Amino acid sequence: MTVLVTGASGLLGGAVAALLLSQGTPVRTFQRRPSGVPGAQDELGSLTDPAALGRATAGVDAVIHLAAKVSFTGNPADFEAVNVEGTRALLVAARDAGVSDVVFVSSPSVAADGTSCAGAGAAPAAPERARGDYARTKGLAELLALGSSEPGFRVAAVRPHIVWGPGDTQLVQRVLERARAGRLPVLDQGTALVDTTFVDNAAAAIVAALHRIEHVQGRALVVTNGEPRPIGEMIAGICAAGGVRPPGWSVPGAVARTAGSMVERAWRRSGSTQEPPMTRFLAEQLSTAHWYDQRQTRELLAWVPEVSIDEGLARLAAHFRAPGPRIEIRTS
């Protein structure tokens, strides 16, 4: 069986491709730049190019789709083109190529409405309630993908929650950069209970979904470490691993949410392509509980996370201590 992994130049996509290869599965990757995964066959291209998608899917048996436009801000049309229409084009190409199984990698944000989530399961995607263009378009894409599942073309969705680990240029790098610059407060004293997912665990769950797709086709499953912790404690752990002083000041969550809305509006007017320092969605994520019941996920996938939060933080600290290339932590 040959598996196409899209978005393998990213942290999670690369981990998925590497895990499949370690299991003896041939892997082809598809993204705009080389994946850097030893042993993978790279096919470069964009989700917006049907011809490139045709080349990427030719001769493969299954697809794990991670490629997406991920950002707190940006042109809504770009999110639509990549996340929705790109997924639609990939599904068409995969079906035309005779692919039998697809795992769509989604996000719990597709069902989030800005309120706390404590011990819930995977609610249906609700793009109409989505907090931002990323969540909205990923929700539309998930509905599109699951709606295409049928005998002979099985599709499942996996929603890893807040993935992090060594080499992470999203959560880890942003936390360390902002903490070092003194621009990272905790909200409401950092007490909101939040679950996260170490990258190796997320990759293993996604691969398990492919291997057990007969049990999960047509469904969406949230994946986490199953170890909810106060968000302030998690941020402090990441800062300690990176050798950065943790945040020492707190802002009321309600104030941050209002400020985030104002910043978003100003950012759109400015036309800036940089990430804003705060958005309403980010403020909600930092000030509300979001952790999920993992019992059904683990039963259906026959999977349990192997790397605990504490072990993950130890690996992150070792990564920063090790010589050689690491993620660049900027201070401006």
pLDDT band at 331 (very low <50, low <70, confident <90, very high): very low
pLDDT per residue as tens digits for the range 12-59: 999 999 999 999 999 999 999 999 999 999 999 999 999 999 999 999
Residue 65 maps to a domain: yes
pLDDT per residue as tens digits for the range 143-168: 999 999 999 999 999 999 999 999 99
Q: Is 134 a catalytic residue?
A: yes
Residue 271 maps to a domain: no
Residue 31 maps to a domain: yes
Kindly tell me if the per-residue pLDDT of 272 is higher than 70. no
Residue 253 maps to a domain: no
* pLDDT-above-70 percentage for the chain: 94
Domain interval for residue 215: 3-164+196-225+290-307
What's the confidence (pLDDT) of residue 117?
83
Residue 295 maps to a domain: yes
Give the sign of the dihedral formed by CA 56, CA 59, CA 60, CA 61.
positive
pLDDT band at 330 (very low <50, low <70, confident <90, very high): very low
Cα–Cα distance measured from residue 61 to residue 172, given in angstroms and rounded to the nearest whole number: 34
The answer to whether the beta carbons of residues 102 and 62 sit under 8 Å apart is yes
Give me the number of domains the chain comprises.
1
The H or E element spanning position 79 is helix 76-79
Region 106-122: mean pLDDT is 86
- The winner for highest mean pLDDT among 217-221, 272-276, 328-332 is 217-221
Residue 152 maps to a domain: yes
Task: Name which of 308, 290, 303 is nearest 108 in CA terms.
Answer: 290
Cα–Cα distance measured from residue 137 to residue 242, given in angstroms and rounded to the nearest whole number: 33
The answer to whether the beta carbons of residues 126 and 152 sit under 8 Å apart is no
Report DSSP letters for 123-138, one per residue: PPP-GGG-SSHHHHHH
Decide which of 265 and 108 is more confident.
Answer: 108
Determine which one of 30, 134, 281, 292 is catalytic: 134
Residue 259 maps to a domain: no
The CATH number of the domain holding residue 204 is 3.40.50.720
Report DSSP letters for 186-217, one per residue: EEGGG--EE--EEHHHHHHHHHHHHHTHHHHT
Residue 101 maps to a domain: yes
Task: Name which of 167, 186, 120, 95 is nearest 324 in CA terms.
Answer: 167
